[in-house]
Structure 1
Amino acid sequence: MRVPHTPPSSLTLIACALISIPSVHAADAATEQEALPIHLVADQAEVKQGQYAYAEGNVDMTQGTLRAESDWVKYNLVSGQLHAGNRVKITQNGDVLIGKRVDLAVDDQVGEMESPEYTMSMGVARGTGETLYFEGKDRYRIKQGNFTTCPANNNDWYVHARELNLDYVEGVGDAWHGWFEFQGVPVFYYPWLDFPLDDNRKTGLLFPTFGYSSNNGFEYSQSFYWDIAPNYDATITPSWRGKRGLMLGGEFRYLEGNYAGKIRAEGIEDKDRETERNRYSLLFQHQQRLTERLWLGIDYQQVSDDNYFDDFGNSLEASSRTTLPREAVLAYTGDWWNSSLRWKTFQTLQSTGNPVTPPYDLAPQLSFNAAKDIGSIAKANLAADASNFQQDNAVSGWRSWARPSISIPYRNAYSFITPQLSVDATRYQLGKLNTTEEQTIDRVLPVASLDSGLFFEREARFAGQDYIQTLEPRIYYLYTPYKDQSAIPLFDTAEADLSWSRLFMENRFSGHDRINDANDLTIALTTRFIDSAEGLELLQLGVGQRIYLSEPKVTLTGNSTSETSADTLFTLSSNIGSFRGSYDLQYNFQNSLTQRASVNVAWTPETYKVLNLRYLRQRSNDEEQITLSGQWPIWNNWYAVGMSSYSLQDHSGLESLAGLEYNAGCWGLRLAAQRYPTDKGDYNVNFFAVLEFSGLGGVGSNPLSQIQRSIPNYADTIRPSPLRTR
């Protein structure tokens, strides 16, 4: 049996502890060990040449990092048989093996140890047994053994086995007739299980998971992992959902030298009890390098219906998905150019409460990009694209464009200046729609820009600390003449949110269906405070504004605007002590309006202590949200975790999560509840509970991924102590 999401060697029962036995080491390491001289100290010793060697009384033998202590030891020089008794202790690299008696044929590695007790990895794991049998080099059998990662004098849990076989040559082990004990109570019995002894994968059952959600009721799943080959594997997962029935899922992964991918599918057996219909999801992803420069990518996803992720997703992000891609890409990379051929369609998931406009299919799209230096002073670039946009009951057709440009960048230690000139030539070949006839639209626009900046710095001292302060002014001028574009359809274009980087870009629209007219000057100023000793940026402040020297006219709808001033951007980020923060503001002084504001603050005074605050205001989509999240110790190794997101605009809760975590050292408990809205207008509630055992795995439904996604800077409170891997 293997444990999901942990190294394969984590479930080794008492076997894992036997890594401490010196002879378990790899052949090369063993050879090096045998080549080292042996030092022997004892109260008395006797050697009979050609027959035996005998030592008695506080026998202490060392060889490299190996140390063996016993009351007496006898070695037959003829047969190679070693006997040590009354008390035997073997120590190496922090691992300790203790027994009453050892009989061992050294050359064949065959023998036994009576009443073994062992600890490994500096005391991380320990256990006992009745008898340890050496059955050849790197092969062992243990009779009546147990294993735990709890420290000495802590017996919270044990794994017991009547017989345990360990084969480090093949890297596999198995246990027979055992049981798991927690808090002194036997929890479950197993007749047989197998497990890997190294980092290799191993066929077998994974630990079961279970939970509860308001959509599906009680959920239970049991996965089987199939190690088909070193480069192929599969996971088969039947699961029971109380309100819906039996779901069967599987994933097949493959990896070759030039290609890799996975196929994943799941579906409800017979029919979903709630909807009385078949429910399923499919995913196929493949990447392949056909030649040194040519590669292929495929991504195909499909679900049975619009509400699939509402019913079977586990987060607001999943339930908010509106499109699934079906895409194939063939790309070629040259020395100074690259091109790609793409065919992309979508499955659109519609919501009755919030209808979605389907995106255009690309059937196909051909792209080309090139960049080449001209001598030592100029750079030439060419971007080109030809795309066939198709959508039912909408204007469709080809859009082809090419954009050659040339720039002359100059930069030194304290300044830069980059003039650039480009020409954008676009052609639309639109098909017939209803009463609209086929038509061709051409658009050619020159674009000129000049980007420049300076860098200043000075030494500063504040509160006994030395800093370097920078001052970075930047001026960007852009000119693009006006051209009426109201007859051009919108295939993939929207007005992009203003950001610091977009202040210095040539087009304020995403996509290529609109090119803004511009006679603009952008002025920006940035200052940074840097720790002189560590070189860390502690504080950054920036302000920037685009000034319209003439009125912009191009919009998405084709109507002229009346604005002659643009928004001002303010940005602040800090990294001081245990505080991390950022603040971004987009403000229009002319209208006294905040267009966009975001605040992110995190306080992490120490590990396992974090409080986060996030605020977002965005006027373009009438959104205003506040999110609080955190992790904090509350009492005696108990930790609270939580996240709550609230819409100030709608006066309603969005996603929320609350949970408790307990760390007992060698085991831990996670409890969590999650609530988020669905596109159907209701809420989905999930409950998680998992009991985790260090070095062994966990039983239940683990909310760790949901906690990590919801709480920035979260630190895992139940990280298992690592066991040595082979």
Structure 2
Amino acid sequence: MNKLWGLLLFPGLCHTTTANAEATPALCKASLSTPVWQPLNGLAANTMDIQADHVEVLGVQSAEFTGDVQINSPSMTLLAQSALIDQVQGLLDARGPIVFQDQQSIISSSGLNANLTNNDLNLLGAQYQLTQQQGRGKAEKLSIGSSELNLFNASYTTCPAENETWSISASRIRLSQEEGWGETYDAVLKIYDTPILYLPYFTYPINDQRKSGFLAPSIGSSDRFGLETKTPYYWNIAPNYDATITPRYMSNIGLQLQTEFRYLTEQHHGLVALEYLNKDDSEPLLDERYLFHWQQSSQLNEQWRASIDVTNISDDNYLTDLGSDYANKTDTQLYRTGLLSYMGERWQTDIKVQNFEVLGDHLSSYSAYPQISFSQTNPFVWQGLNLTLNGELSHFKNTELALNEATRLHIEPKAQYLFQDYAWSFLSELSLLQTNYQQKGDFTDTSFEESVSRTLPKLRLYSQINFERETDWLVENGLQTLTPQLQYLYVPNKAQDNIGLYDTTKLQDDFFGLFRDQRYSSVDRIASANQFTLGATTRVFSQQNEELFNLSVGQIFYLSDEAKPSEQKLTASAATLSTQSTYNALFAAEAMLHWHRRWYLSTGVQYDNEGKQIIQSHITLDYKGDDKQLVQVNHRFSNDVSGNRIEQMGLFTSMPINQNWHFIASFHRDLETGRSVELLTGLQYQSCCWAFQVTGHRQIETDLNQSITGIDQDGAVFDSGIRFNFVFKGLGGKSSYDAQKLLQQGIFNYRRPYFLNN
């Protein structure tokens, strides 16, 4: 039988919604088998296309359609057995079985009535399924308004029908796409049809809009904390302000309050965090314990920038005892920095206020109040030379040291000649380093002087040549490059024991450090030099310009004995002079091998040719497969870290067991002491409607109130614990979890070192 059809002019139903911004996990897409609804092609606004086996016109304004009725509008499609439309009153009444579908949902029901004038639609005995996000259920009555969905005597779950782990039954469920949240009244949470919890009222997100409410809690247990629970509360203060308030209960320690406030304006963005513990039951000698963190970045206008980064804690062991998201347990100092920068067309000026809080039994560092530095970003050009002028004015203070105050003025004019070509380049630099000090303090039995003026020239000559050729090593039709490098550096020797050390430390002796023009991080010590550095780097690239291999080797050759580095005194207190190892024939190498798309090898070594010993070395082997498969084995060695020899091996692994289960683990062992340093393992289960994580750890505890030289290597104390996270998806929080993030909970974080630049 041929279908009858008609095109009627009616106000369109306006059940318009916005898809959940959160992507549907791949393992849940199978349950969303219904295609996303699309409007009928060519259908104009405020019109309906109606098809049926039979139609009976009742007067001039009403019609009754029967037999496989199909109604299409720009916002929905309705399938029914019969439908009655009254155009005068703007009413639509349909009888079922009925299937209603729009961009967000598909609903089966026994009957439908709608007011086409105010765009209200009601379905009776409804079963609904959201089509662009997880969510389904039943309702005795389902009412669709212009921007919200109301369900009466209804149920809701994000689980598939064949495995309904949890569900909510409520007298009323309201889903507002405009607000982005759902509300339930007189709700009962059921686990496998067993009532677990009664909630008279609660809300949950249905898209990415924010709203105040409790986030998913976590629970754990450890030797140090005992039973530990966290219950975060999110406070959506305004579109550009929010806060998270987290009570953290630890049965062995007490109740800690963790807070974080975030803000965003046209010029500023940042956060302020405060963690407070009134009394630590495990440390009766300590008073209140707290952490304060403030971080902000500001763009005042096109030229001026500002930033603040401040972290303060009540005691040195706060991080090792309690942990924090704003600092790492392995941190040995905390930064407090305020920076104001001006960026002009030729000059950049930085005004910095800086202080370091050194944790543990170490000498405190100097504060810089202030440090004003300027650098020339756009050099003057004269006779082919680039002329620049850089400098700084700094004031340092530390009342605990023999030199308790100092003002330093450093000026560094430089003439530079640079020639660059595709095949080679040449750089020559001649600098004059002029530094003046005014120092205050106790000069008794020291070589320090109140007023010091130091002038040193510095000459640097650097050149490199670029070779390349085709190669079939590692890859067909590949490209290999070879870049030999040669540098000559000269700085005359000058005694500097009359100058304190305010912000200067020795830089790393790796391959990239061989070609630096300075050995120290600042100007309190300017190392003498009369040396050549010879090195080379070779790389292999695929046709897609992917780097598959690189090898860099280099060594410094000294032309005079007085230019060789000597043991440098790197503390500014006359009572506690110490030395730092130096090496007269330093050889360094770095290499990376990526011979297969899943395998990576990174390694490096620093070797003292004269002393015939390895200074430092590291090697890392990575396997990164599909579906977040990860294995990393690493080894690191250093012959002198604060007077201790370090040799450790580590293992990271992240392995999906199947579509739902994921396993992670990390293990680190100290080969010098013959003991494990940390063991972390975790298991994650994730389905369409719920997720569960459990992690266990055993890690060495650190006491920063004990000096490094006084540590009992055989009397280490370990902390063991277990932590749980559980969430019903669709009732708050994200519905997708990254098991590899669990590897960040340990002392040693997972990283891919071959992507790091020195």
Fold in common (TM above 0.5): yes
Paired with 1:129 and 1:200, the residues of 2 have a C-alpha distance of 25
TM-score, scaled relative to structure 2:
0.83
- 1:370 corresponds to: 376
Paired with 1:399 and 1:639, the residues of 2 have a C-alpha distance of 56
Contact residue 474 and residue 595 of structure 2 kept, 8 A: no
- Change in CA separation of 1:211 and 1:698 when aligned onto 2, cut-off 3 Å: farther
Contact residue 146 and residue 161 of structure 1 kept, 8 A: yes
- Change in CA separation of 1:229 and 1:577 when aligned onto 2, cut-off 3 Å: closer
Paired with 1:646 and 1:528, the residues of 2 have a C-alpha distance of 33
Paired with 1:8 and 1:664, the residues of 2 have a C-alpha distance of 16
- 2:389 corresponds to: 382
Contact residue 50 and residue 77 of structure 1 kept, 8 A: no
Paired with 1:527 and 1:55, the residues of 2 have a C-alpha distance of 79
Paired with 1:298 and 1:690, the residues of 2 have a C-alpha distance of 33
Matches within 5 A, 1:234-313: 234-269=243-278, 272=281, 274-275=283-284, 277-313=287-323
Paired with 2:662 and 2:233, the residues of 1 have a C-alpha distance of 33
Paired with 2:324 and 2:288, the residues of 1 have a C-alpha distance of 20
The secondary structure found in structure 1 opposite 2:163 is coil
Residues 371-391 of structure 1: per-residue CA shift (max 9 Å, x gap): 224449443332211222222
Paired with 1:561 and 1:210, the residues of 2 have a C-alpha distance of 47
- 2:709 corresponds to: none
Q: Of residues 215, 235, 239 in structure 2, which corresponds to 1:230? A: 239
- 2:576 corresponds to: none
- Change in CA separation of 1:285 and 1:39 when aligned onto 2, cut-off 3 Å: same
Residues 115-143 of structure 1: per-residue CA shift (max 9 Å, x gap): 22222245743222221123x42133211
Paired with 2:22 and 2:677, the residues of 1 have a C-alpha distance of 38
Q: CA deviation at 1:86?
A: 0.8
Contact residue 496 and residue 508 of structure 1 kept, 8 A: yes
Q: CA deviation at 1:688?
A: 0.8
Contact residue 8 and residue 200 of structure 1 kept, 8 A: no
- Change in CA separation of 1:713 and 1:357 when aligned onto 2, cut-off 3 Å: closer
Residues 416-458 of structure 1: per-residue CA shift (max 9 Å, x gap): 2222221111112111315368521222111111222222222
Tell me which moved more, 315-324 or 334-343. 315-324
Matches within 5 A, 1:389-404: 389-391=396-398, 392-395=400-403, 396-404=405-413
Paired with 2:438 and 2:540, the residues of 1 have a C-alpha distance of 53
Question: 1:362 is matched by which residue type in structure 2?
Answer: A
Paired with 1:50 and 1:401, the residues of 2 have a C-alpha distance of 95
Question: 1:393 is matched by which residue type in structure 2?
Answer: L
Contact residue 179 and residue 209 of structure 2 kept, 8 A: no
- 1:102 corresponds to: 112
Contact residue 371 and residue 382 of structure 1 kept, 8 A: no
- 2:344 corresponds to: 334
- Provide the aligned C-alpha RMSD in A: 3.5
Paired with 1:215 and 1:702, the residues of 2 have a C-alpha distance of 27
- Change in CA separation of 1:57 and 1:397 when aligned onto 2, cut-off 3 Å: same
Paired with 2:207 and 2:326, the residues of 1 have a C-alpha distance of 38
The secondary structure found in structure 2 opposite 1:679 is coil
- 2:6 corresponds to: none
- 2:9 corresponds to: none
Contact residue 247 and residue 255 of structure 2 kept, 8 A: yes
Paired with 1:567 and 1:312, the residues of 2 have a C-alpha distance of 42
Paired with 2:515 and 2:751, the residues of 1 have a C-alpha distance of 32
Residues 329-358 of structure 1: per-residue CA shift (max 9 Å, x gap): 2222212211122222233332xxxx2221
Question: 2:617 is matched by which residue type in structure 1?
Answer: A
Q: Does 1:683 align with 2:718?
A: yes
Question: 1:370 is matched by which residue type in structure 2?
Answer: Q
- 1:508 corresponds to: 519
The secondary structure found in structure 2 opposite 1:311 is helix
Q: Does 1:481 align with 2:492?
A: yes
Q: Of residues 653, 663, 667 in structure 2, which corresponds to 1:630? A: 653
Residues 667-725 of structure 1: per-residue CA shift (max 9 Å, x gap): 332111123223225233331112233333579x99974424656479xxxxxxxxxxx
- Matched residues, percent identical? 27
Tell me which moved more, 688-697 or 459-468. 459-468
Tell me which moved more, 558-567 or 601-610. 558-567
- 2:28 corresponds to: none
Q: Of residues 433, 451, 457 in structure 1, which corresponds to 2:462? A: 451
Q: CA deviation at 1:240?
A: 2.1
Tell me which moved more, 214-223 or 591-600. 214-223
Matches within 5 A, 1:576-655: 576-621=596-641, 622-634=645-657, 637-655=660-678
Contact residue 406 and residue 438 of structure 2 kept, 8 A: yes
Matches within 5 A, 1:209-220: 209-220=218-229
- 2:743 corresponds to: 707
- 1:719 corresponds to: none
Contact residue 486 and residue 557 of structure 1 kept, 8 A: no
Residues 233-272 of structure 1: per-residue CA shift (max 9 Å, x gap): 2222233221222223322222221223322222224664
Q: CA deviation at 1:226?
A: 2.1
Paired with 1:688 and 1:450, the residues of 2 have a C-alpha distance of 57
Q: CA deviation at 1:318?
A: 2.8
The secondary structure found in structure 1 opposite 2:514 is helix
Tell me which moved more, 52-61 or 617-626. 52-61
Q: Of residues 582, 587, 592 in structure 2, which corresponds to 1:572? A: 592
Contact residue 175 and residue 181 of structure 2 kept, 8 A: yes
Contact residue 603 and residue 611 of structure 1 kept, 8 A: yes
Contact residue 144 and residue 163 of structure 1 kept, 8 A: yes
- Change in CA separation of 1:273 and 1:339 when aligned onto 2, cut-off 3 Å: same
Tell me which moved more, 377-386 or 419-428. 377-386
Alignment: residue pair count: 691
Contact residue 283 and residue 301 of structure 1 kept, 8 A: yes
TM-score, scaled relative to structure 1:
0.86
Q: CA deviation at 1:102?
A: 1.2
Contact residue 631 and residue 639 of structure 1 kept, 8 A: yes
Q: CA deviation at 1:615?
A: 0.7
- 1:468 corresponds to: 479
Q: CA deviation at 1:598?
A: 0.6
Residues 129-171 of structure 1: per-residue CA shift (max 9 Å, x gap): 221123x421332112222222332212223322112333444
The secondary structure found in structure 2 opposite 1:113 is strand
Q: Does 1:361 align with 2:371?
A: no
Contact residue 371 and residue 379 of structure 1 kept, 8 A: no
Paired with 2:365 and 2:673, the residues of 1 have a C-alpha distance of 28
Contact residue 550 and residue 564 of structure 1 kept, 8 A: no
Paired with 1:196 and 1:33, the residues of 2 have a C-alpha distance of 33
Q: Does 1:694 align with 2:703?
A: no
Paired with 1:592 and 1:669, the residues of 2 have a C-alpha distance of 53
Paired with 2:46 and 2:486, the residues of 1 have a C-alpha distance of 71
- Change in CA separation of 1:271 and 1:585 when aligned onto 2, cut-off 3 Å: closer
Residues 363-415 of structure 1: per-residue CA shift (max 9 Å, x gap): 22111111224449443332211222222133231222111212222222222
Paired with 2:463 and 2:181, the residues of 1 have a C-alpha distance of 64
Contact residue 515 and residue 554 of structure 1 kept, 8 A: no
- 2:14 corresponds to: none
Q: Does 1:415 align with 2:421?
A: no
Paired with 1:267 and 1:173, the residues of 2 have a C-alpha distance of 34
Paired with 2:519 and 2:751, the residues of 1 have a C-alpha distance of 34
Contact residue 362 and residue 389 of structure 1 kept, 8 A: yes
- 1:718 corresponds to: none
Q: Does 1:43 align with 2:53?
A: yes
Q: Does 1:524 align with 2:535?
A: yes
Q: CA deviation at 1:591?
A: 3.1
Contact residue 369 and residue 382 of structure 1 kept, 8 A: yes
Tell me which moved more, 448-457 or 65-74. 65-74
Contact residue 376 and residue 389 of structure 2 kept, 8 A: yes
Tell me which moved more, 141-150 or 99-108. 141-150
Q: CA deviation at 1:176?
A: 0.6
